A and B are shown apart, each in its own frame.
Chain A
Amino acid sequence: MSISRRSLLKGAVVAGAATALVGRAEAREEVEPRPDAVGMLYDSTRCIGCRACVTRCKEANSLPYDRTAEGIHDAPTDLNSNTKNIIKVWTAGEKSAFTKQQCMHCVDPSCVSVCMMGALHKEGEGKRDFAGEKKGTGVVLYDKGTCVGCRYCQIACAFNVPKFEWFEAFPLIVKCELCRHRGDPKKEGPLAIANPACCEACPREAVVYGKREALLAEAKRRLAEDPKRYNGLIYGEKEGGGTQVLYLAGAGVTFKQLGMPELPEESSASFSERVSHAPYLHGITPIALYGAMAFVIRRNKSKEEASEHHGEGK
């Protein structure tokens, strides 16, 4: 009994060595919004639900039209592998509000944190060099060449944005890339980087494209100008470490009702990396542990052989 208790203790110490330090979090720098980051501002109070943005998104991204089993033509109910952008409506009695969903282009995205080979990456910050990618825009781009289709991005994304082509033998992950391919280098300012079709299509400027800093200022201006119109908050300024797509909602409407998850200020990526990296101490722990174990095991073996040699058996 005493032996097993001792071995249990020793076993626990050895086995737990790598994780025992979990509580003592290693500093992982919070990712700040990049100064040149671009994004969108969606104002639910201006949206009339015309869905012009949904159609123009499909055209701009050459996405096939969606069809339900009942044969309803191109009326998707959610984001899917044919739909990178969607307008939804929330209703409660007389009240209703429109909402828009697409990639939030997070400041510190979960999908980028979990992607094994950097298939999902911030523009210009991936694992491979891509011609024409400009660092600092913060647009989350997809590289099908390094994606293994593990779908961890779908688990990690709090907004359930990345979609998978379930019925393809050679499937892709599909998500909004802020129409970066529509950017025109000849133009000035943000339009040189990208040019989201949804923003171009919107007849009421319910969704506008620009630099995140400028959009944040614009959101604040609108809140200050007409405080009774809004619920007074800007979703995406801090939520989940901040997003590059910002939301305004009408008075009496919560962002949760518009389908946005309630997130803490620390990004999920930061929390996860902080906890998982802590015990590794920048790679020292595994090497030290390996060396120590190899030493002990070899010593045990020599002792064993010595006792065998002297014919003592065990």
Chain B
Amino acid sequence: MSDHDHPRAIGGKPFDPLMKTLLAIFGVSAVVMVYRFFTGVGPVSNMTDGFTWGIWEPVNVVVFTGIGAGAYGVALLCYLLNKGKYHVLVRPAVLLGAICYTLGASSIVIALGRYWNSYWLAVPTMWNLSSALLEVAVCVLSYVAVLWIEVLPSVLDGAAQSKSSAWSQLGRTWGPLLAKAMPYIIALAILLPTMHQSSLGGLLLIAGPKVHPLWHTALLPTLFLISCLSMGYGAVVVLTTILNLTWKAKHDQRLFAEMSKVNAGLLLLYVVLRLGDIAIHGKLAYLGFNGYTLLFVVEIALFLVPAFMFFSPRVQQNKGRLFGAALLTVAAGASYRVDTYLSVYRPAPGWDYFPSFGEIIVTIGMAAIGMAIFIFISRMFPVVVVETRDHSHAGSGRVLTAGSR
């Protein structure tokens, strides 16, 4: 990698039409959220005692954090396996992760019935360690903090370059200190998602009688862990391609192709484990002409198609095709997660569910504010590495590997 890979603040007008649209969408969802605190969850949702999590948990938490797992995936490659070439992806991936996880955690507060009791989570003697959800809650909250600490180097970099001497001083003092602590923070940033992403699958182990046998398996934690990585790598390619189109972000096709081969391996590993598990436990009999089989086939296809695409040179060399394949991996993980939590979840005969307008608008609004935050921070602080021939940016943040940010 060259020395020219400096992330730069994008700058520009903060309130462009896109930003206004995103904020308007969030505004509508915010009305629903505020209303919910006065009336309870019932009036704004179609959730029932049978489908008690609606779409908020399956989508806002389980899918959003899967997309945010790009930060985890890139950290694994870049820091643990010491592949310095992936460094250009770290800052956007970490920012995406920080935003996705923050949205997931905030969505939970909206969904919790007795949110004011959450303070007990800070008291370890109260923890019921048998609860997969406790593990997820504690781990996700800590990870949100860790992710924002990981975003700090961008902010401190930005501060160091600031014209204001106070800000500049702040950036210059704290930047290097943070860089020293970074390896210990990054180790945490790898450990925590390993734990809670598998626990997100583990959550449904106890719901055995309610989850369709094709999906309910002791491998749930493993499959959720693999699917978060495949979603994360896909999301990073998707994000960076979009940034390239809009802000001329550096787009290293070879690097993406290489990372996508790692992803292809993960996708295939998922399919092998999934099919093998079903075959070994004699669950093939559940396949037939029914809706569950259709969901299952679509899911497996969504994992297989991008895996084979990633191995094809025609895809590896083409920005558009690689983007398409990456998008499919995100869809694959998302469909697996939503299927497991919702589509194949049947509490008992007689229960039915379709999300209400209120539920959908909250989910869309959360996604919108997430994009708005990403755009805002990228405009203000050096996050994105921009394609440039200009060598005069000597003062901007130099990118090093292995936690030296």
A265: Cβ under 8 A from any B Cβ: no
A12: Cβ under 8 A from any B Cβ: yes
Instruction: Tell me the complex Cα distance, A171–B266, Å.
Output: 43
Interface size class of A (residues with CB under 8 A): 35 or more
In the complex, the answer to whether B218 meets A148 with C-beta atoms within 8 Å is no
In the complex, the answer to whether A166 meets B187 with C-beta atoms within 8 Å is no
Q: Which of B175-201 contact A (CB under 8 A)?
A: 182-184, 186-188, 190-191, 194-195, 198-199
Instruction: Tell me the complex Cα distance, A165–B39, Å.
Output: 11
Q: Which of B195-219 contact A (CB under 8 A)?
A: 195, 198-199, 202-210, 218-219
Interface digits, B106-123 against A, CB 8 Å rule (1 contact, 0 not)?
001001111101101100
Known A7-B77, A114-B131, A293-B191; contact A127-B42, beta-carbon cutoff 8 A: no
Known A22-B218, A114-B131, A271-B206; contact A11-B76, beta-carbon cutoff 8 A: yes
In the complex, the answer to whether A151 meets B113 with C-beta atoms within 8 Å is yes
In the complex, the answer to whether B114 meets A149 with C-beta atoms within 8 Å is yes
A15: Cβ under 8 A from any B Cβ: yes
Instruction: Tell me the complex Cα distance, A1–B80, Å.
Output: 19
Known A110-B206, A155-B52, A293-B187; contact A166-B126, beta-carbon cutoff 8 A: no
Tell which of B16-24, B25-33, B395-403 binds the partner.
B395-403
Known A152-B131, A167-B40; contact A304-B210, beta-carbon cutoff 8 A: no
Instruction: Tell me the complex Cα distance, A22–B83, Å.
Output: 29
User: Which residues from B are CB-within-8-Å of A171?
Assistant: 40-41, 113-114
Known A164-B49, A275-B202; contact A117-B43, beta-carbon cutoff 8 A: no
Instruction: Tell me the complex Cα distance, A289–B111, Å.
Output: 33
A156: Cβ under 8 A from any B Cβ: yes
Instruction: Tell me the complex Cα distance, A305–B404, Å.
Output: 8
Of all chain B residues, the one with the shortest Cβ separation from A280 is B195
Q: Taking the nearest CB of chain B, how far is it from the CB of A106, in angstroms? A: 12
**Of A118, A145, A297, which contacts B117 at CB under 8 A?**
A145
A63: Cβ under 8 A from any B Cβ: no
Instruction: Tell me the complex Cα distance, A144–B117, Å.
Output: 9
A16: Cβ under 8 A from any B Cβ: yes
Instruction: Tell me the complex Cα distance, A170–B115, Å.
Output: 9
Of all chain A residues, the one with the shortest Cβ separation from B38 is A169
Q: Taking the nearest CB of chain A, how far is it from the CB of B186, in angstroms? A: 5
Known A148-B114, A151-B113, A289-B194; contact A301-B183, beta-carbon cutoff 8 A: yes
In the complex, the answer to whether A314 meets B1 with C-beta atoms within 8 Å is yes
Q: Taking the nearest CB of chain B, how far is it from the CB of A10, in angstroms? A: 6
A128: Cβ under 8 A from any B Cβ: yes
User: Which residues from B are CB-within-8-Å of A286?
Assistant: 191, 195
In the complex, the answer to whether A156 meets B207 with C-beta atoms within 8 Å is yes
In the complex, the answer to whether B191 meets A151 with C-beta atoms within 8 Å is no
Instruction: Tell me the complex Cα distance, A145–B265, Å.
Output: 47
Known A116-B133, A148-B120, A155-B52; contact A166-B194, beta-carbon cutoff 8 A: no
Known A1-B261, A4-B258, A167-B43; contact A304-B402, beta-carbon cutoff 8 A: yes
A213: Cβ under 8 A from any B Cβ: no
User: Which residues from A are CB-within-8-Å of B134?
Assistant: 116-117
In the complex, the answer to whether A113 meets B133 with C-beta atoms within 8 Å is no
Majority SS at the chain B contact face: helix
User: Which residues from A are CB-within-8-Å of B117?
Assistant: 117, 145-149
Q: Taking the nearest CB of chain A, how far is it from the CB of B33, in angstroms? A: 13
User: Which residues from A are CB-within-8-Å of B191?
Assistant: 286, 289-290, 293
Q: Which of B54-90 contact A (CB under 8 A)?
A: 76-77, 79-84
Instruction: Tell me the complex Cα distance, A8–B202, Å.
Output: 24
B225: Cβ under 8 A from any A Cβ: yes
In the complex, the answer to whether B128 meets A127 with C-beta atoms within 8 Å is yes
In the complex, the answer to whether B186 meets A297 with C-beta atoms within 8 Å is yes
**Of A20, A81, A301, which contacts B403 at CB under 8 A?**
A301
**Of B40, B82, B137, which contacts A300 at CB under 8 A?**
B82
In the complex, the answer to whether A165 meets B131 with C-beta atoms within 8 Å is no
Instruction: Tell me the complex Cα distance, A294–B39, Å.
Output: 47
B125: Cβ under 8 A from any A Cβ: yes
Of all chain B residues, the one with the shortest Cβ separation from A169 is B40
Q: How many A-B residue pairs have CB under 8 A?
A: 252
Interface size class of B (residues with CB under 8 A): 35 or more
B348: Cβ under 8 A from any A Cβ: yes
In the complex, the answer to whether B81 meets A152 with C-beta atoms within 8 Å is no
**Of B37, B50, B133, B198, which contacts A150 at CB under 8 A?**
B133
In the complex, the answer to whether A14 meets B76 with C-beta atoms within 8 Å is yes
User: Which residues from B are CB-within-8-Å of A160?
Assistant: 49-50, 347-348
Q: Taking the nearest CB of chain A, how far is it from the CB of B274, in angstroms? A: 14
In the complex, the answer to whether B402 meets A301 with C-beta atoms within 8 Å is yes
Known A19-B222, A268-B209, A276-B199; contact A117-B114, beta-carbon cutoff 8 A: no
Instruction: Tell me the complex Cα distance, A71–B202, Å.
Output: 43
Instruction: Tell me the complex Cα distance, A205–B206, Å.
Output: 34
Q: Taking the nearest CB of chain B, how far is it from the CB of A58, in angstroms? A: 18
Interface digits, A79-107 against B, CB 8 Å rule (1 contact, 0 not)?
11100000000000000000000000000
Known A23-B218, A144-B114; contact A271-B205, beta-carbon cutoff 8 A: yes
**A-B CB contact pairs (8 Å), 28 listed:** A1-B261, A5-B265, A11-B81, A12-B266, A15-B225, A18-B198, A19-B198, A22-B219, A80-B49, A113-B128, A113-B206, A116-B131, A117-B127, A148-B113, A148-B117, A151-B53, A167-B42, A168-B40, A169-B38, A170-B114, A172-B113, A269-B130, A271-B208, A272-B205, A273-B130, A276-B202, A293-B191, A300-B401
* Sample of 13 further A-B pairs with CB below 8 A, known A148-B112, A272-B208, A303-B82: A10-B81, A23-B218, A150-B108, A150-B111, A166-B49, A167-B40, A167-B42, A169-B39, A268-B205, A286-B195, A297-B187, A304-B401, A308-B400
| Chain A interface residues (CB < 8 Å from chain B) | 1, 3-5, 7-8, 10-12, 14-20, 22-23, 79-81, 110, 113-118, 127-128, 144-152, 154-156, 158, 160, 162-173, 259, 261-263, 268-269, 271-273, 275-276, 279, 286, 289-290, 293-294, 296-298, 300-301, 303-305, 308, 313-314
